[in-house]
Every structure is written in C-alpha cells, then in structure tokens.
Amino acid sequence: MLVPGSAAADPKPTLPQARTKVADLQHKAEEAGEAANDLRGEITAATRRVKAVSAGIRKQQAQVDAVKKQIGSLAVAGYQQSGMTTTAQLLLSTDPDQFLSQASTAQAFAGQQSTALRRFQTAQGKLADLQAGERSELAALQAVQAKQGELKKELERNLAEAERVLNQLSAAERAKLEAEAEEEARKAREDRPDRSNDRTGEDIIDVPASGRAKIAVDYALAQLGDAYVWGADGPSSFDCSGLTMAAWGKAGVSLSHSSKAQINEGRQVSKANLQAGDLVFFYSPISHVGIYLGSGRMVHASRPGKPVKIDSIDTMPYAGASRPG
C-alpha cells in the first residue's frame, strides 16, 4: 500500500541514460549562460548612461549652488538698502542728488535679484529633470541585472540537477565517467600547438587560414583541453563566446561576449562558403558559437563538463556563420 502524500524515489538511471540526461542539462546550462552573456551589452550601456547622468547632475548642482550663492549676496546688499522708506531716506538725505543715485542702484539690485531668482528656478528645474532621469536609468540597469541574475540561477540549477543525476550512479560508474572526461581533455591537449607566440615548425593541425583569421585560429587551438567555465574568456578557461571573443581579440578584432551578438558583428557567410576562422553558430535561438577550421570541423568551448575541443559542425543544429574583421 502507498502512504498518502509519499512520493516514489527517482529510479536509478543506467549509465547511458545518465550520460544523455547530464548532457541535456549541461546544454540547458549553457543556453542560460549565453542568454546571461547577451545581457552584458545592455548592462554596460545602462551603466554608461547612469554614469553620464550622474556627471550631469554634479555639474548642474554646481550651477544651482553658484546661483544660490549669488542670490544670497544680492539679498544682503538689498537688506542693507532697506532700513527705511524711500521717502524718509530722501527727507533725511543731506545730498538729494547722491540719494537719487543710490536709489537707482537699489532698483538695479532688485532687478538683479529677480534675474537671479529666474536663473535659480531654471537651474533647479534642470537638476530635478536630471535626478528623475538618473532614477529611471538606475531602475533600468537594476532590471537588466536582475534578469541576468535569474539566468545565472537557472544555469546553476541545471548544473546542480546534473550533479544530482550523477550522484545516483554507483561509485564505479562515476569513476568511469570521470575517467572518460579526463581522457577527452588529454586527447584535446595533445592536439594543441605550443601556446607561445613565437613557436616555430608546423602546427599539429593544418588549418588553411591566413592573416587575422590565422591568428584567431592559432589562439583557439592553443586552448584545446581547457575547461568550460561560464563567463570565462581566458587565459585557462572559457565559455563558447568567451573563446571566440578572446581568439579574435588576439587578432585585433573586438567582439561582444555573446554568441547571439557575435553573429551580427561580422559579414554573414553561407555554409557553402565557410573559411577557416569564420564563426559558426548553433541552435535557435542562437546559444553556441565555435571557430571554423575547414573540412567541416570547428574548435569550440563545447559545454559545461567538456573541454575546449575540435568537433564536426554537424554535431549540433547549425544556425549560420559570420566572418569577423
């Protein structure tokens, strides 16, 4: 009999089932990570706007303070002139001509005060507008940061679930998977050329590239065997768009840390016209990118739990390609 409210434990997966489930969860983690990466540009732009508005507020506050100081000075001067009525001052004056001159000066003070007050109102209004703009920009920045934070949590949840699946395996089965991962990373490292920039001799992998594309390809190949880490762009770990950004950055081409953005940061090329160094993109919406090597191969930071490695571009759903530079 079943006890009401109880739930049966998840059945222990077989090793092949665990491999499939973990791979799916790791891919979902990468999707969330690339979606979070895609918000980097928005966060950078929003942060820049907040800083610009804040600088404007500081400048406008200085203007407001200067006008307030001027108003204070005019108020003191006006008070010193207003001890008695104009008629009384004229009657008591020993020099009527001098008094009329002073009266004219007092009227001028009054005019200056009125002008200064109008300037203060205008400056204060601009300051209030800037402060409202700052609040709006801060709210927008915080909203994007919160969205990125949720995507990071989604990534972590998927990786935690993958770990839970692995924990259902026996110690021997886990050891087998760990040994397979270590072997995959070892083989990838064997294929990479020397990391030094002044290496001589032939590369282990012959890639038909030249110019900046050759620099990008060489850099990416030098990272073979490195770990996948979300948000990383080197020197010893990468996510997919972090690797392509770092590789083309080495060649002097600036790319965003986002696979979704990178497809629009170069000239679009067809699959039939791919050249070594081109960026190749996968899934819909785009959530993965690699660097084409020729002969249907690419080098890429594959996914969590996997090293930077070389794969066929047909191992995942192809979405398009672009040529940086």
Give the catalytic positions in this structure: 240, 288, 300
Cα within 13 Å of Cα(301), Cβ side: 32
Query: Which residues does residue 300 pair with via DSSP β-bridges, in sequence order?
Result: 309
Complete DSSP assignment for 237-275: EE-HHHHHHHHHHHTT----S-HHHHTTSSEE--GGG--
Tokens of 18: 């665990």
DSSP 131-196: HHHHHHHHHHHHHHHHHHHHHHHHHHHHHHHHHHHHHTS-HHHHHHHHHHHHHHHHHHHHH---SS
Going by their DSSP bridges, the two strands 297-301 and 288-294 should be labelled as: antiparallel
Sequence-distant (6+) residues with CB within 8 A of 236 are 226, 227
Greatest C-alpha distance within the chain? 118
